[in-house]
Structure 1
Amino acid sequence: MTTITLVQGDITRESVDAIVNAANSSLLGGGGVDGAVHRRGGPAILAECRRLRASHYGKGLPTGRAVATTAGDLDARWVIHTVGPVYQESGGDPALLASCYRESLRVADELGARTVAFPAISTGVYRWPMDDAARIAVETVRHTPTAVEEVRFVLFDDRAYEAFSRRLG
């Protein structure tokens, strides 16, 4: 059974088998978690992302999918990049957000990862409401069969930590 833990802090400082990156579809870095992962992880991550773009993902990584690269200088073996959906006034597709977590766990299983750190996917510039994002994340992880032993939600601020804590309650 997978243990779910919460940490408030910087996901790039976690010591785990795999860190999940809330990437943009280009896989070439960006803001928020994506920018932090690329900055702290160093050029090896970007080099592998460029190779993925040149081979399998010429049009970018589709929303809800996940792919792994090296973790570069991070204290992890891999970075699992996933592209979260953008939430707009009309709402967002919860199935796509759930897919980010399911697909990341599938990739983690393929890699043999036992500890995985997730951010609150799509809650930054993609504007998914934190309470709903926490509900989708926790429910999806709880109901996805996986060999991952620990899923660690690494949450940047009090608001995110409190939202996820309520869902774990």
Structure 2
Amino acid sequence: MDIRLVRGDITEQHVDAVVNAANSSLLGGGGVDGAIHRRGGPDILAECRELRASKYGRGLPTGRAVATTAGRLPARWVIHTVGPVHSATEDRTELLASCYRESLRVADELGARSVAFPAVSAGVYGWPMDDAARVAVRTVQETSTTVSEIRFVLFGDEAYAAFDRAVRGPDPKHAP
């Protein structure tokens, strides 16, 4: 599996599937979620409404993933996943890892070979960027998948640097 880091806009990625850091309503929101819905157009929202009317009446549970069309995005599909809100008093790491595993499971079911991920939960959900990067990279590296290319599409320099450190691993000069 090839892991790449990209500075930029996830809505511009030419991949089989982009992952949306969605809220449980699946009906759009801010950040990555809002950008994907705006750029992808009404077809994404229409499929999300169908999912809410059928399988996910109470919303998509945290850590789960589901796919829709990508509408006008240059990808074929959007895989929506709901990340956990960071908590200083409760370890929700497994829920964050589940977002990546479940997204790859859905990608495999779709036959996707290239997937672009945002930094799930590291925005408005408050997950510390270095830890979010560590969990994301470790989880995709340890998950059995037929996806051959994974892109982490990162909006800012802080996120890019954190994911770069996570991909490269600890610096041996600073190891104990």
Asked if TM exceeds 0.5, the reply is yes
Give the match's secondary structure for 2:107. helix
Counterpart in 2 of 1:44? 43
Counterpart in 1 of 2:163? 164
Runs (4+) of structure 1 exceeding 3 A deviation are: none
Contact kept? 1:85, 1:92, Cα under 8 Å: no
Counterpart in 1 of 2:72? 73
Q: TM-score under structure 2 normalisation?
A: 0.94
**2:89 is the alignment partner of 1:97:** no
Unaligned runs of 5+ residues in structure 2 are 169-176
Shift, 1:158, TM fit: 0.2
Counterpart in 2 of 1:32? 31
After TM superposition, list the pairs within 5 Å mapping 1:50-129 onto structure 2.
50-129=49-128
Alpha-carbon separation, structure 2, partners of 1:118 and 1:71: 14
Query: After the TM superposition, which of the residue ranges 86-95 and 123-132 deviates more from structure 2?
Result: 86-95
Alpha-carbon separation, structure 1, partners of 2:45 and 2:91: 29
Q: Which amino acid aligns with 2:35?
A: A
Aligned length, in residue pairs:
168
Shift, 1:90, TM fit: 1.9
**2:7 is the alignment partner of 1:8:** yes
Contact kept? 1:64, 1:83, Cα under 8 Å: yes
Shift, 1:156, TM fit: 0.5
Q: TM-score under structure 1 normalisation?
A: 0.98
Alpha-carbon separation, structure 1, partners of 2:74 and 2:20: 14
Counterpart in 2 of 1:137? 136
Shift, 1:92, TM fit: 4.1
Q: Which amino acid aligns with 2:156?
A: D
Shift, 1:88, TM fit: 2.5
Q: Which amino acid aligns with 2:74?
A: D
Higher Cα Rg: structure 1 or 2? 2
RMSD (Å) for aligned C-alpha atoms: 0.6
Q: Could you list the per-position Cα deviations for residues 70-97 of structure 1 after superposition, in whole angstroms to 9, with x for gaps in the alignment? A: 0000000000000000002325410000
Contact kept? 1:86, 1:92, Cα under 8 Å: no
Counterpart in 1 of 2:174? none
Query: After the TM superposition, which of the residue ranges 81-90 and 17-26 deviates more from structure 2?
Result: 81-90
Give the match's secondary structure for 2:136. helix
Give the match's secondary structure for 1:127. coil
Q: Which amino acid aligns with 2:114?
A: T
Query: After the TM superposition, which of the residue ranges 13-22 and 85-94 deviates more from structure 2?
Result: 85-94
Give the match's secondary structure for 1:154. strand
Alpha-carbon separation, structure 2, partners of 1:167 and 1:132: 9
Unaligned runs of 5+ residues in structure 1 are none
